[in-house]
Chains A and B, each alone.
Chain A
Amino acid sequence: MPRLSADARHRIRARINGRAIEAEAEPRMLLTDFLRHVLGLTGTHIGCEHGVCGACTVEIDGRLARACLTLAPQIEGSEIRTVEGLAPSPDRLSVLQEAFRRHHALQCGFCTAGILVSLDHYLARTPDPSESEIREFLGGHLCRCTGYVPIVAAALNAAKKLREAKPHA
């Protein structure tokens, strides 16, 4: 990583949801603020800014990360996925998103972005999880509205639908 000057703005280039972006930020700017206020990707939410609640979870180069514990310059050259990149097209929902709607797995929708990003990542790698595996995995996300019951149900249902859609996987 190049040396950055604390009081200067630095150019950051990355790919976000498949598109190249280029924008400036001070070295101390958090990735959450960069995504939301510089790039206008307000779907990533800020719940605690100390890495516990999980609302800001994004995927950086294929790994899940807390955007609130990441500095904007750290994504230089990276491939990022956020909640805005999960749906196949603007007027359609992904299988996981549809399962969330069907199971009423969200109420206020504030923690949902991080949970969706995490589950999308997880289900792509763990196609047939048990309920207890999903519960263990989701332990890094706080939801205050649902009591988690419908979230776990939606995740299991989405996993099933995704398996059915890819019978040879």
Chain B
Amino acid sequence: MATAATNWLGQSIERVEDAALLTGRGRFIDDLGVRPGTLYAAILRSPHAHAAIRAIRADAAKALPGVAAVVTGAEVRALSSSLAVGVKAPIECWPIAVDRVRYVGEPVAVAVAADRYLAEDALDLIEVDYEPLPAVIDPLAALDPASPMLHEGLRSNIASDRSFRYGDPERAFAEAARKVSVSVRYPRNSCTPIETYGLVAEYDPSEDAYDVTANFMGPFSLHPVMARALKVPGNRLRLRTPPDSGGSFGVKQGIFPYIVLIGVAARAAGRPVKWIEDRLEHLTASVSATNRVTKLDAAVDADGRIRALAYDQIEDVGAHIRAPEPATLYRMHGNLTGAYDIKNLSVRNRVVLTNKTPTGLNRGFGGPQMYYPLERLVQRIAIELSLDPVEVIRRNLVPAEAFPFETASGGLLDSGDYARAIEGAVVDGGLAELRARRDEARRQGRLYGIGFATVVEPSVSNMGYITTVLSPEERRRAGPKNGAQATATIALDPGGAVSVHVASVPQGQGHRTVAAQIVADALGLDPKNIRVIADFDSARDAWSIASGNYSSRFAAAVGGAVHLAAIRLKTRLARVAATQLNVQPGEIEFASGRVRARGNPDNALPFNRVAATSHWSPGSVPDDAQALRETVFWTAPELTPPTDADEINSSLCHGFIFDFCGVEIDRVTAAVRVDKYVTMHDCGRVLHPAMVAGQITGGFAQALGAALYEEYAYSPDGNFLAGTFADYLLPTTNEVPTPLLLRIETPSPFTPLGAKGVGEGNCMSTPVCIANAVADALGANALDLPLTPSKLAAFVHGKEKDRPSSAGTQAAKGARALHGEGETKVSASPEQVWAMLLDVDTLATIIPGAHAVEKVSDKKFRADVTIGVGPVKGRYRAEIKLSDLDPPRAVSLSGSATGALGFGSGKGRITLSPEGSGTRISYGYDAEIGGKIAAIGGRLLDGAARMIIRQFFAALARRAGRAAQSGFFARIRLLFRRRP
């Protein structure tokens, strides 16, 4: 049997997926029909970062026509069990709050109704009594044993603390000429697919089985986690995925707790239940990349050679260690030394819990957080030793002849020629011209900088790397974990047509097209004639824990499995054909849709006829040559479990990236403009160049967002502040430049096709490359992302007020979200004003948006008010208490308001002093606002609060004026003024 020349791989053929997607015929989760009787869920979420739930009253919601069920923590606890967590500790992780909320957006109740509108109506009728608890947001604060504890089972907020040592780092630091350090707070962000989470769940009591269709992306190691939580064996959780999914970038791993939650809701309701997440829910509470605080030291020789690295990483996973965390921290463990030949390494990894949304997969998964300090450090080394940054990079690279290269921490870098890639980028990317451009810009007084980043991009995760978080002793007890089974099935039908199934759960990456190219090349067919199915059904398809769409595993692992399955079929078909063509199987070749004798193309059969033989005439085919359907499971032997010395080859493939860029910072606005961006990639053999380019430009755009705009920001008290796409800013066509893409190819010796992953690299390289350029432009040392104008203005114009951050801020404890003060003058005496402030009827007319004010006691009022903040108008129940009464000079007010859109509380003091015939009223207030209103109206809150308070006093002044003046003209004036 001979292999015909490769035809299709390496070509950018049009995608088989596109015609349907371009004409509105995609089949995304919300496009699929549902069974008659399907109900719709809406989720009530916590407005508090940390609070005890004292009571949930849902009777009114349940009584609403169309509402079938309201599910709370109590029902979920009764019908399921806690999700397994990744560290050995007696803590629970439920998909809904049980007795306590630990982050803003945590599910508190699920309303299930005939449609989504009714389900949301029901949420407005659920009353929850919260007792707020102190929250911890900053990961460094979470290290403090005195910080508010999230999970008592841990006895602190530190979920894991492990130290690693490879080589002799202490000696290297003692002997090195210099020690260079960086400290980094990497922020929270997310790749926010444009399609949100969605699923339909059904429970069959007669078989005690769940059937769920969800836009989950894997890894399917979470399938046993979900089945266990639902208290059924794996074969009773049938999990399917729709044919299309609107992007994921890791994020749709995070739907898995909702599969459990809505599964339970379907069981409680006795009907199928559908849930589609909305954007506010997604931004607030779906999942986020981890934020991390890193201190990284290097022991450096005078010539810039790095002798040792010492990492101290504090990983913030949010309020729960939800599976597969703390994987973000360990995915890079085998390549912590990046592209460099560094023999000595020490690492301290701590995982902390804070009152923020639990974290999970996100494009780059651990790479952005690790490469940011590493590549900032390399720039610092160059600056501190007065060397060219490219020269420091070159002097430390793993040499081309050293591959496969074993890293200090046990990674096995499969192939590469890093020096050649860098030379190619420097020359073809025009580094010399860029430097001249920088010099010219600087001569003109502009702020221009150049940055570099060098990254080893891991792909095809070893499913065992996460066990590096356990001690060798714990690992021995748990049994070895390693490998990554990729699967592919190829079937021949009775007409000889070829079908392929892969369990790679694509979310837009074109897997169906590439799988067809691979099979076409192996069998000498046109890809158009091969049908590839990529939607997934755990009950019918070949799959394993590594199945799914993550760690850039498709081209290298799944594509490899497809190739191996095709070759197996081809070997059998060659034997079938050899009999019919009277030649040896080794003489058979497959080309142009025919199976023929090599050297004698006329001695040939149509492929279809050979391929159909085992269906129509199995008796003429030897048993071991029956060619009907082949399923291949493939895992690489290089993916071994962690050793007792904690060495781990965390990924099978390691691509290489070298980026450089030129940026200019506006001297007035401090905004960053990326002037030129060059990105050199070696991702092994390229199967479809346009798709590789699409992965790079797409990852680059996301990384640009992470570098300059995006942050899941929290206030110091734990309110989420980025609940809309007007707060969480994604780059648009106007911000994303066209990068120059360059490439070399060093095929991986470890994968069947020589391909490596390429999807995530720029999320690792681009943020730090841009930061290095900004640092170069500003002469800045400490720089944390995102590099917003307000942050950079500190360097351009001097320090400004801090913006809220997810990475932790040093804001004073107890800092209030809003505060203000003001004064106004009214033409009534202090006594008159005093009487008005204590009078229910007056208050009802001067409180903005008040529907009714009720006097509960002399010093206590209750009001029903409608308040609008920006686009969000809501009704709130307010309680106001008066204290420290000093009539008619001063009074303190404290109050709170709660409603479906959130809550607020505040206090203030009003002072009245006589001035002429009237009164000067001075006031000051502090207020905290939380819940949806903070997430979506955050930018507007300060202004809105000021306006509402001004309106109050303006109304008071008018009212007082009327009381004081009774003249005809004054009354006419008032009449006109009161008309809006």
List chain A positions with a Cβ less than 8 A from chain B.
Answer: 26, 28-29, 33, 36, 41-50, 52-53, 55, 82-84, 86-87, 90, 93, 97, 100-102, 104, 106-113, 116, 134-136, 138-152
Nearest residue in B to A91 (C-beta to C-beta)? B19
Enumerate chain B interface residues (CB-CB to A < 8 A).
12, 14-15, 17-19, 21-26, 28, 30-31, 116-117, 191-196, 244-247, 249, 276, 278-279, 507-510, 690-691, 693-694, 696-702, 724-726, 730, 732-734, 736, 738-739, 871, 936
Asked if A144 contacts B279 (CB within 8 A), the reply is no
- Are A47 and B23 in contact, CB atoms less than 8 angstroms apart? no
Q: Check B697–A147 contact: CB distance below 8 A.
A: yes
Distance between A135 CB and nearest chain B CB, rounded to angstroms: 4
Q: How far is the CB of A6 from chain B (nearest CB, A)?
A: 11
Bound: A110/B871 CA distance, A: 26
Let me know if B724 and A43 touch, CB within 8 A. no
Complex A-B: 16 CB contacts under 8 Å: A43-B26, A44-B24, A45-B195, A47-B246, A50-B725, A52-B726, A53-B279, A55-B194, A104-B694, A108-B245, A135-B734, A142-B194, A144-B247, A147-B699, A149-B738, A150-B693
Closest A residue by C-beta to B21: A109
Q: Which residues of chain A come closer than 8 Å to B276, judged between CB atoms?
A: 46
Q: Verify A83–B194 contact, CB threshold 8 A.
A: no
Contacts of A55 in B (CB 8 A): 194
For residue A43, which residues in chain B have a CB less than 8 angstroms away from its CB? 23-26
What residue in chain B is nearest A96 (Cβ atoms)?
A: B22
Whether A139 pairs with B694 at a CB distance below 8 angstroms is no
A148 to B702, CA, bound (A): 11
Q: What residues of B have a CB within 8 angstroms of the CB of A53 in the complex?
A: 194, 279, 725
Contact A104 B22 (CB under 8 A): no
Q: Which of B23, B246, B509, B738 has the most CB of A within 10 A?
A: B23
In the complex the two chains form, is A93's CB within 8 Å of B30's CB?
Answer: no
CA distance A8 to B605 in the complex (A): 68
A1 to B806, CA, bound (A): 47
Verify B508–A107 contact, CB threshold 8 A. Answer: yes
Asked if B23 contacts A109 (CB within 8 A), the reply is no
Question: Which one, B117, B691, B733, contacts A138 given CB within 8 A?
Answer: B733
Q: Which of B278, B509, B701 contacts A49 (CB 8 A)?
A: B278
Q: Give the CA-CA distance A111 to B701 in the complex, in Å.
A: 15
Q: State in angstroms the CA–CA spacing of A107 and B697 once bound together.
A: 12
Q: A110-B195, A143-B194 are in contact. Are A97 and B694 (CB under 8 A)?
A: no
A78 to B848, CA, bound (A): 39
How long is the Cα–Cα vector from A41 to B699 in the complex, in angstroms? 31
A93 to B690, CA, bound (A): 21
Establish whether residues A102 and B14, one from each chain, have CB atoms under 8 Å apart when the complex forms: yes
Q: Is A138 within 8 A of B732, CB to CB?
A: yes
Cα of A120 to Cα of B691 in the assembled complex, Å: 25
CB pair B15 A104 closer than 8 Å = yes
Residues from chain B with Cβ under 8 Å of A149 in the complex:
697, 736, 738-739
Contacts of A52 on B, CB cut-off 8 Å?
724-726
A140 to B696, CA, bound (A): 23
CA gap between A110 and B251 in the complex, in Å: 15
Chain B residues whose C-beta falls within 8 Å of the C-beta of A111 in the assembled complex? 194, 246
Find chain A residues with CB under 8 A from B116 CB. 33
Q: Are A142 and B730 in contact (CB under 8 A)?
A: yes
Q: 16 other contacts beyond A53-B194, A106-B21, A144-B702, with CB at 8 A cut-off?
A: A42-B26, A43-B26, A50-B726, A50-B936, A52-B726, A93-B19, A101-B22, A102-B14, A108-B507, A109-B246, A110-B193, A110-B195, A112-B21, A144-B191, A146-B694, A148-B733
Report whether B279 and A139 are in contact in the complex, using a CB–CB cutoff of 8 Å: no
CA distance A40 to B394 in the complex (A): 58
CB distance from B510 to the nearest CB of A (A): 7
Measured between beta carbons, the chain B residues less than 8 angstroms from A41 are 24
Query: Known interface pairs A138-B733, A144-B249, A145-B508. Does A107 touch B24 (Cβ–Cβ under 8 Å)?
Result: no
- Say whether B509 contacts A107, CB under 8 Å: yes
Q: Is the beta-carbon distance between B732 and A147 smaller than 8 angstroms?
A: no
CB atoms of B701 and A147 under 8 A apart: yes
Which chain B residues lie closer than 8 Å to A151 at the CB level? 733
Label chain A's interface by main secondary structure.
loop
**In the complex, what distance in Å separates the CA atom of A152 from the CA atom of B244?**
24
Determine if B279 and A49 form an interchain contact, defined as CB atoms under 8 angstroms apart: yes
A114 to chain B: closest CB distance in Å? Answer: 9
Closest Cβ of chain B: how far from A68's Cβ, in Å? 10
From B22, B193, B701, contact of A112 by CB (8 A) = B22
Q: How far is the CA of A44 from the CA of B245 in the complex (A)?
A: 14
Selected contact of A45 from candidates B12, B17, B246, B699, CB within 8 Å? B246
Q: Give Cα A142–Cα B246 distance, bound, in whole angstroms.
A: 13
Q: Are B28 and A110 in contact (CB under 8 A)?
A: yes
Alpha-carbon distance between A118 and B6 when the two chains are bound, in angstroms = 40
Residue contact B26 to A109, C-beta cutoff 8 Å? yes
Residue of A nearest to B690 (CB): A104
Q: Are A42 and B279 in contact (CB under 8 A)?
A: no
Are the C-beta atoms of A142 and B725 separated by less than 8 Å? yes
CB-based contact A109/B249 at 8 Å = no
Closest residue on chain B to residue A114 by CB atoms:
B194
Please give me the 8 A-B residue pairs with the lowest Cβ-Cβ distance, nearest first: A43-B24, A108-B508, A109-B21, A110-B246, A147-B697, A147-B701, A52-B725, A107-B508
Query: Which chain A positions have C-beta within 8 A of B739?
Result: 147, 149
CB <8 Å contact, B195 and A150: no
A104-B15, A139-B732, A142-B194 known; A29-B244 Cβ under 8 A: no
Q: How far is the CB of B247 from chain A (nearest CB, A)?
A: 4
Q: What residues of A have a CB within 8 angstroms of the CB of B730 in the complex?
A: 142, 144
Query: Once the chains are docked, how many angstroms separate the CA of A97 from the CA of B12?
Result: 17
Give bound CA distance, A142 to B279, whole Å: 13
- List residues of chain B with CB within 8 A of the CB of A46: 30, 276
Check if A109 sits within 8 Å of B508, measured CB to CB. yes
Considering residues B12, B19, B733, which has the most beta carbons from chain A within 10 angstroms of its beta carbon?
A: B733
A47 touching B738 in the complex, CB below 8 Å, given contacts A146-B697, A147-B701 = no
Report A-chain residues with C-beta under 8 Å of the C-beta of B736: 147-149
Residue of B nearest to A134 (CB): B733
A147 and B701 alpha carbons, distance in the complex (Å): 5
A111 to B725, CA, bound (A): 14
Looking at the complex, which one of A29, A82, A102, A141 makes contact with B24 (CB distance below 8 Å)?
A: A82
A144 with B22: CB separation less than 8 A: no
Inter-chain CA distance A145–B194, complex, in Å, is 9
A13 to chain B, nearest CB (A): 22
CB contacts (< 8 Å) of A109 on chain B: these are: 17-18, 21-22, 26, 244, 246, 508
Kindly identify which residue among A33, A36, A108, A146 contacts B246, using a CB–CB cutoff of 8 Å: A108
Taking a contact as CB atoms under 8 Å apart, the answer to whether B694 and A107 are in contact is yes
A140 to B691, CA, bound (A): 25
Cβ–Cβ contact A108 & B244, under 8 A: yes
Chain B residues with CB under 8 Å of A104's CB are 12, 15, 690-691, 693-694
B732, A142: Cβ atoms closer than 8 Å: yes
Residues in A whose Cβ lies below 8 Å from that of B278: 49
Contact between B117 and A108 (Cβ–Cβ < 8 Å)?
no
Cα distance, A125 to B192, chains bound together (Å): 33
Contact A47/B279 with A42-B24, A53-B194, A101-B19 known, Cβ cut-off 8 Å: yes
A116 to B19 CA separation, bound complex (whole angstroms): 13
Residue from A44, A93, A150, A152 within 8 A of B23 (CB atoms): A93
Check A45 against B690 for contact (C-beta < 8 Å): no
Give A106 to B432 CA distance when docked, in angstroms: 35
Residue of A nearest to B696 (CB): A147
In the assembled complex, the Cα of A102 lies from the Cα of B194 at a distance in Å of 23
Q: Are A101 and B18 in contact (CB-based, < 8 A)? A: yes
Distance between B397 CB and nearest chain A CB, rounded to angstroms: 28
B24 engages A147 (CB within 8 Å)? no
Contact A83 B24 (CB under 8 A): yes
Closest to A98 in B: B22
Q: How far is the CA of A79 from the CA of B558 in the complex (A)?
A: 47
Task: With CB as the reference atom, state the residue of chain A lying closest to B705.
Answer: A144
Measured between alpha carbons, how far is A39 from B245 in the docked complex, in Å? 22
Q: Determine how close the nearest CB of chain B comes to the CB of A132; give it in whole angstroms.
A: 9
Q: Closest CB-CB distance, A50 to chain B, in whole Å?
A: 6
- Specify the chain A residue showing the minimal Cβ separation from B871: A50
CA distance A131 to B584 in the complex (A): 59
Nearest residue in A to B738 (C-beta to C-beta)? A149
